[in-house]
Amino acid sequence: MNQNTSNPSQHPAGGSPPARLPFEGIRVVEFSHMVMGPTCGMVLGDLGAEVIKIEPIDGDNTRKLKGSGAGFFPMFNRNKKSLPVDLKSAEGRALVLKLIGTADVVTENFKAGAMAKLGFDYPSLKKLNPGLVYVSHKGFLPGPYDHRTALDEVVQMMGGLAYMTGPEGRPLRAGAAVNDIMGGVFGALGAIVALWERTRTGVGQEVCSALFENNVFLVGHHMLQYAMTGQAAAPMPSRISAWAIYDVFTVKDDGQIFLAVVSDTQWKKFCQVFGFDDLANDASLDTNNSRVSARPWLMPLLRERLGGYAVSEIERLFESNGLPYAPIGKPEDLLHDTHLLETGGLADIKLTDSRHGADAKTPLLPFTLDARRLGVRLDPPEIGEHAQQVLAGLNIDPAQIRELQEKGILGPVS
């Protein structure tokens, strides 16, 4: 068993160990691939649920992705068990239906109609299990667009996020699968709400989370900016910022650093720290709004004055005076980040099918319960890992497992 013993929910700094994880005793059956559905299952698994991932007998194709997709499976499939089953066979479907009869939650993120063809749609399953919470992850909530095939990038383009991220005339997708990931988180939130409602009603319900609506939620403040001002929001590279100094500066030796001076008190401190007495005494710069108006001449002047400082010098001065700043980091830098390492924000996992190494660190959910991070109990599973335990719970003995494997209905089981 690929059980991870370095569990930050058991051994992080600070707080007392939780008596139990919130969703211990909750069983989730997951039909999903790629990012959105697996994210939902990961959140529920991190919260303590037993998540059983139904895979094709040769494994989820997400395991085989390269390039920017190589991190999908190890990131979003921790704290899960793998059960590889041929769902095209009647025996395979019957086996999974038996499992669903014991489940609290079913999650899926396949195209519209795919689950109904298998007999695994919500109207069919609620007859088998009235208490079931059923979470669908789709491109669009029901409506005129719900027949379309959606991807994260598709909805970023149609939903204004790519327009806001790129320069004028060059829509650019965000640098992470933001809608897939947040759509999965909202799916998990819907499951949590539905489970809570079940404690009062005794019955489950269907939950739907969608990429497009998630994207609309992300750009909602830009929509309301237009409603408030009558002025369309400009793309981020050419926006009129709400704050005068809120930008990336290129300094000595072509170093780069993000600096923010967002209040009048911070402006006075900033001028004092760098000896900009002329700017501190300029009444036309006393308020943030006046400094925003002065950006056309103020920003070039500040870039010139700060250009002789090294990044490390500016970091030291901003840090010691409580001014907001950020080095320009890369994702791989976070694997060695002091704050994440010292606070238990990264957990050790073992990778499957990795060419670079067997061990890695993965980021945990970004909140604490009783001052504890929720950790990794199970590494991302090999195909069929923990399946024997799951099948034994359904009273399927080793001889029956071998027979199902010989028929091509079950994949590897361990």
State the amino acid at position 401 in one-letter form: I
Closest CA to 179 of 146, 208, 212, 136: 212
Q: Answer whether residue 19 shows pLDDT above 90.
A: no
SS3 322: coil
Check residue 18 and give its pLDDT: 54
The per-residue pLDDT of the chain, averaged, comes to 93
Check residue 242 and give its pLDDT: 82
Q: Answer whether residue 384 shows pLDDT above 90.
A: yes
Rounded Cα distance, 413 and 64, in Å = 19
Q: Answer whether residue 14 shows pLDDT above 70.
A: no
Region of poorest pLDDT, from 152-156, 316-320, 358-362:
358-362
Domains of the chain, first to last: 27-219+344-406 (3.40.50.10540), 241-331 (3.30.1540.10)
Q: Determine how many CB atoms are found less than 10 A away from the CB of residue 401.
A: 17
Rounded Cα distance, 59 and 85, in Å = 9
Rounded Cα distance, 157 and 210, in Å = 15
Q: Answer whether residue 354 shows pLDDT above 80.
A: no
Check residue 241 and give its pLDDT: 77
Q: How confident is the model at residue 357 (pLDDT cuts 50, 70, 90)?
A: low
Closest CA to 125 of 134, 137, 136: 134
Q: Answer whether residue 353 shows pLDDT above 90.
A: no
159 close to 59: Cβ distance less than 8 angstroms? no
Q: How confident is the model at residue 1 (pLDDT cuts 50, 70, 90)?
A: very low
Q: Percent of the chain, pLDDT > 70?
A: 94
Query: How much is the average pLDDT of 226-246?
Result: 88
Rounded Cα distance, 212 and 182, in Å = 11
Q: What is the pLDDT of residues 249-303, one digit of tens each?
A: 999 999 999 999 999 999 999 999 999 999 999 999 999 999 999 999 999 999 9
Most confident of the following: 1-15, 200-214, 346-360: 200-214
Classify residue 256 as exposed, middle or buried by CB count within 10 Å of its CB (0-12, 13-18, 19+). Answer: exposed
Q: What is the pLDDT of residues 141-173, one digit of tens each?
A: 999 999 999 999 999 999 999 999 999 999 999
257 close to 315: Cβ distance less than 8 angstroms? yes
Rounded Cα distance, 48 and 375, in Å = 9
Rounded Cα distance, 303 and 94, in Å = 68
162 close to 156: Cβ distance less than 8 angstroms? yes
Classify residue 347 as exposed, middle or buried by CB count within 10 Å of its CB (0-12, 13-18, 19+). Answer: buried
Query: How much is the average pLDDT of 169-180?
Result: 96
Query: How much is the average pLDDT of 217-222?
Result: 97
Q: Answer whether residue 204 shows pLDDT above 50.
A: yes
**Helix, strand, coil tally for the chain in percent (to 5):** 45, 15, 40
Rounded Cα distance, 335 and 198, in Å = 40
Q: Is the dihedral of CA 92, 93, 94, 99 positive or negative?
A: positive
